[in-house]
Amino acid sequence: MSKIFALLFAGASVAVAACTVRPTYSETLQPWIGQSEEKLYAAWGMPYNVIYPAPGAKVVYYMHFSYRPENGMTNPYAYEVAYPAIATPDYGLPGQPQSTNYYCQTHFTIRNGVVTDFGFNGDDCVVSDN
């Protein structure tokens, strides 16, 4: 009986170790805190919008749109938040099939050339396999 238990336990341990947990989108953005503005631009490109809320500070915005959910995920916040108002509506002409737009808007706060904060919203803010 103890051999069976030991084999089952060993098999379960291997199965759990083989499962990788995908980090959340927030966890992938966290390392940007403390990085230089130049490094951010080198990795993310030029932002689509910039606002200047105070002297020496700016908030840069990046937007991602797609017609299908990233990685096939249709509920990216299942384990983070429950807020249905962030979903984009379906648009289409009368008599035409409607299309769904998925999006993720990510912003970084930069103070004196250093990333100090980040945030995001949208229905497609997930970690990409790319």
Whether the per-residue pLDDT at 118 is higher than 50: the answer is yes
Mean pLDDT of the chain: 75
Domain contains 102: yes
Q: What is the pLDDT of residues 58-84, one digit of tens each?
A: 999 999 887 666 655 555 555 554 445
Question: What pLDDT, on the 0 to 100 scale, is given for residue 69?
Answer: 61
Domain count, the chain: 1
Question: What pLDDT, on the 0 to 100 scale, is given for residue 115?
Answer: 97
CA distance 105 to 29: 13
Contacts for 34 with CB less than 8 Å, ≥ 6 apart: 114, 115
C-alpha 105 chain-centroid distance:
9
Domain contains 14: no
Q: Which amino acid is at 26?
A: S
Percent of the chain with pLDDT over 90: 41
Domain contains 99: yes
